[in-house]
Structure 1
């Protein structure tokens, strides 16, 4: 540890951002890197704990505590403090294939588990990780490294999201010929189309990593859906192993009165079409505009926040975000102790932008929609809502109950459903005849990733359900290791 008293001497600082009132006029990333000297100071706050919970990746009460890919955080914090950036990048790449992605979009469970965070603001781990990765790109340290020899084995990876890219990168490193199939027009999955450009730049950040993977020997085949453009039987016949990383893309619907009205869309359809329009410099037939509309977003979480930020950049008239859960407390509740992920109130970038433009956080808590009201043209014009309270039923389960007298009607010409996902789409699973778990996910044990068909593995959200990008990285790397072991009888790939 370079600075034993750093956590006493220095206060937490985070990277500054372009002001919300300015950044809402474009689709550019808005985080501003801290000067190197300040980053070194922040690295000095790391205590080099005897038991560094930040990189344990433990699941507590259903949420990650610490880094799921076991980043060697105290080591690269110390290296940054000492100005050893290249060495810090090498440490980061030992556990993380794509730190420039997690440094931007991960919610940082590592910081929630930081020992310093017990009684002080935690170390700014996410800022430091992002800075290390970007320094590596700027300095030219991140370059293609094709494997020195090939095994002759062919592996198909279905899906090019976070899990698929990690699996492909690791299997290519092991010397296998890897082909990644993607049904969209570009590879990247969630990273390309599920996360808005201002949060993760597609051309400057995502595409440059895809280019490196191609130069290393990974083949991407887009506009190709397995089970439709290529049969499941052909896939199994032509490849020695298959890794399924198709995500959990079946959205949760809201089947209430008026659901059939025009102007009600799933959040991912809205976000995907928007990013396509940015990348193609034109608006396609599937583009959904929030311009000059009153927008209601149903659901919280990252997807809801992304809908807020995107709608504001479209110049919407107003925006309301309905959240069925209560507003979190300002500090940790007694039943949410360290090192659990802190479930506390905070305004993400979208809510900050809404507050800057419209004067307040757009979220309305403990509220649900009861009816969509339409106009004479069959278009949505309002959302009827009611407040709820959470009570226990006769089985001891918490269920929402409507509170009489709290009804409200909110104007809306655009409604976006951002209520999460119910698991993977089923046609490919049906075509392969794979076993499922009770939640309709592909059945494959964590750590083994083997499905009910020999040589077919599953990783990421299609196996575990909707989760974090960093968990997808964890599973993609793990599935690659198990796949390599299956193909070769032994493996040198890390966990």
Structure 2
């Protein structure tokens, strides 16, 4: 018997060369060809007990795929070269695999059973290849709804949670309208993720499909200003708030209001709008500037990659945590994400362009240095992290580690605040199980759980759709009883 997980090495999506791709905003990776992807799927076939599709939480840690993708099943079909059925099986659980196959951090791979002793199965690469191949073959077509229920649902926000809820409710026969305050549909999928990771044509293609299936989209509608939740509740039978966690965290240090301090999402949004033909505000142009990115997550990496493409003189990224190890640490046993050091696309590009990794670790920003009202540097200290026997971590300042970094543009990518104040502005309070204190008004996605992964947003959209459908069915039953 041949053990494919031992004989076939892990392989992921092919990437364009760094020196080529940093001069444009085209996607840096593409799908695999049939031969290599079949081999990658074969690595999954000797698994005795899969954990990749568990989709649960241990504390705040995601274990496996939150939308319970049937990963071993579509891997089996890919290994048999039955790509059409693999596509059908993939769509049973995932509304938008073309998004997750590009930008999901793949907790499924962190929980892959093979990952205990070998490199995990390249699940994300297989997923993207299945859906990209399906579009190429013309298998992805509008699914027309045969019968409408007569109920109308408004969804505020067009990110992955809102779109997933819209898709599910529309297929159940309800008439769905999605309201978006921006000028494009997609939420953070459109303006929060740069084009080189998720081409906006991919987003528009899915939106066009949803529209062809009967979902109505309205852009430029700011709920709370242009229309109230109360007014929507009077017009629609149910309302879903999927507005995301929109309030970005600020530095909160002296000088953080200086010219040249920009929030990451504002910066990334401006870059995407420039691709759409809008003029780029000089505040968001990194050309010739020394750029500091504060925040070590994916958004920070996207800022690094964007600044490189704009022609930054240098890019440095501050992270508050220690440098990750090359191997899974005892503190992060399987099936948790190993959280090991990797050279993602942005860092490979920085190394290729500047011959240095832009990441610095355990850095605390103390004060913005200004000339007049403009930033010219950041005063910092290096920290040391001590983990106590009870698992709690404490950070200490390293004496004599003060350093001032020159900076012409500082991009703040330290996450989002929880959305409760925003919901209160809309006149609702979030409660458990997707409901609010206003009858017929529901909440899902980052607006309910705080900043999270795209797969959690899709799961939230699917689950809130079930709650809304049950609510509408109850309304129908009560109406029949009263009549």
Which band: TM-score by shorter chain? Answer: over 0.9
Query: In structure 2, what is the equivalent of residue 298 of structure 1?
Result: 294
Please state how far the C-alpha of 1:347 moved relative to its aligned partner. Answer: 1.6
Q: Does 1:162 align with 2:157?
A: no
Mapped partners of 2:460, 2:79: distance in 1:
31
Tell which deviates more after alignment, 245-254 or 46-55. Answer: 46-55
Q: Which residue of 2 aligns with 1:438?
A: none
What is the root-mean-square deviation in Å for CA atoms of aligned residues?
1.8
Q: Does 1:236 align with 2:233?
A: yes
The 2-side partners of 1:90 and 1:140 are apart by 13
Deviation at 1:391, TM superposition (A): 4.7
2:16 matches 1:18: yes
The alignment of Structure 1 onto Structure 2 pairs a total of residues equal to 475
Distance (Å, rounded) in 1 between the aligned partners of 2:421 and 2:399: 39
| 1:284 CA displacement | 4.7
Residues 241 and 4 (structure 1), Cα distance of their counterparts in 2 relative to 1, 3 Å cut: farther
Provide closer, same or farther for how the CA distance between residues 328 and 142 of structure 1 changes in structure 2, counting only shifts above 3 A.
Answer: same
Cα contact 1:226–1:428 (8 A) shared by 2? no
Matches within 5 A, 1:76-475: 76-203=74-201, 205-279=202-276, 281-285=277-281, 288-376=284-372, 378-391=373-386, 398-424=393-419, 426-432=421-427, 434-435=428-429, 443-445=430-432, 448-475=433-460
Q: 8 Å contact 2:224–2:425 — kept in the other structure? A: no
Q: 3-state DSSP class of the match of 1:55?
A: coil
Q: Deviations over 1:178-213 (max 9, x none)?
A: 01010001110010000000000002x100000000
Unpaired runs of 5+ residues, structure 1, are 436-442
Contact between 1:182 and 1:222, CA under 8 Å: does it hold in 2? yes
Cα distance in 1, alignment partners of residues 412 and 196 from structure 2: 21
Q: What SS class does the counterpart of residue 330 from structure 1 fall into?
A: coil
Contact 1:20 1:353 in 2 (8 A): yes
| Contact 1:48 1:74 (8 Å CA) reproduced | no
Q: Deviations over 1:70-113 (max 9, x none)?
A: 00000100101111111000000000000000000001111111
Superposed CA offset, 1:205-228 (max 9, x none): 100000000011111111001110
For residue 5 of structure 1, report the CA deviation from its aligned partner: 2.7
CA–CA distance in 2 between the matches of 1:389 and 1:219?
52
Match of 1:37 in 2: 35
Post-superposition CA distance 1:10-61 (Å, at most 9, x none): 1211122111121100000011322201111111110353431000012124
Deviation at 1:285, TM superposition (A): 4.5
CA distance in 2, matches of 1:314, 1:73: 38
For 1:490 and 1:352, locate their aligned partners in 2 and report how far apart those are by CA, in whole Å: 55
Relative to the length of structure 2, the TM-score reads 0.95
Q: Deviation at 1:400?
A: 2.9
SS at match of 1:426: helix
| Aligned match of 1:46 | 44
**1:258: Cα distance to partner?**
1.1
